Amino acid sequence: MKTLQAINEEILQRISHLETSSQTNVKTLFNITKQISGVEHLHSSMMELLESIETIENKVDYNLPTIQREISKLEFGVAQINSTLQVVNETRESDANYLKSTVSTLATLQEKVEANNIIMQALRNGRSEGLSLSSQLDDSKNLSPETIMQQMNKIHDSYLQVVGKLPNGK
């Protein structure tokens, strides 16, 4: 039989073992409680995040038609601007061609005026200086200086109108 002291020691060992086991269980329980608290906090945060995402989705769904309308308006505006720009470019090219033609015509008329002035000077001075009057008249197409000046004035006015339409920038 066991002595009382051996039983006492056995009971003390069991109590010591139970206390150690109890402390381990308390620590484990504390850790589990912390983990559960962390999981609950994580769950709560995820639920808030989910609600925020749903709110954003609802706002996007609500505003999407408005955004699409605005995009369509912008696309239409861009198309109008492109169309206007094309018309402006065509007009600019047309005006440039007209200006070139006007300059060429003006140069031709100036040559005719100079030829007529030479003829007029020769007639006034009574000298022909070796020029045939009939050939000079044929070259100027029998136009009077007044007619040529009127044509030059018309061309000059047209030239000023074209220049006025040109953009000021370089």
Return the structure tokens found at 100.
Answer: 């070139």
Above 50 in pLDDT, residue 18?
yes
Above 60 in pLDDT, residue 36?
yes
Rounded average pLDDT over 106-112? 83
Q: Give the pLDDT confidence score for residue 50 in this predicted structure.
A: 97
Measured over the CA atoms of residue 43, residue 45, residue 48 and residue 50, the dihedral's sign is negative
Percent of the chain at pLDDT above 90?
50
pTM of the model: 0.41
Helix (H, G, I), strand (E, B) or coil at 140: coil
More confident residue, 149 or 20: 20
Q: Give the pLDDT confidence score for residue 112 in this predicted structure.
A: 81
Q: Give the pLDDT confidence score for residue 105 in this predicted structure.
A: 86
Q: Give the pLDDT confidence score for residue 71 in this predicted structure.
A: 95
User: Please, where are the H alpha helices in the chain?
Assistant: 4-125, 133-139, 145-165
Residue 35: which pLDDT band, with cuts at 50, 70 and 90? very high
Return the structure tokens found at 9.
Answer: 């020691």
Above 50 in pLDDT, residue 81?
yes
Rounded average pLDDT over 76-88? 95
pLDDT digits (tens, 9 = 90+) for 110-163: 888 887 787 777 667 654 444 454 555 555 556 777 887 888 888 888 778 777
Give Cα 124 to chain centroid, integer Å. 68
Q: Give the pLDDT confidence score for residue 43 in this predicted structure.
A: 96
The CA angle 108-112-117, to the nearest 5 degrees, is 145
Taking a C-beta distance cutoff of 8 angstroms, is the pair 109, 152 a contact?
Answer: yes
Which of the residue ranges 15-29, 56-70, 94-108, 126-140 would you say has the lowest mean pLDDT? 126-140
pLDDT digits (tens, 9 = 90+) for 41-71: 999 999 999 999 999 999 999 999 999 999 9
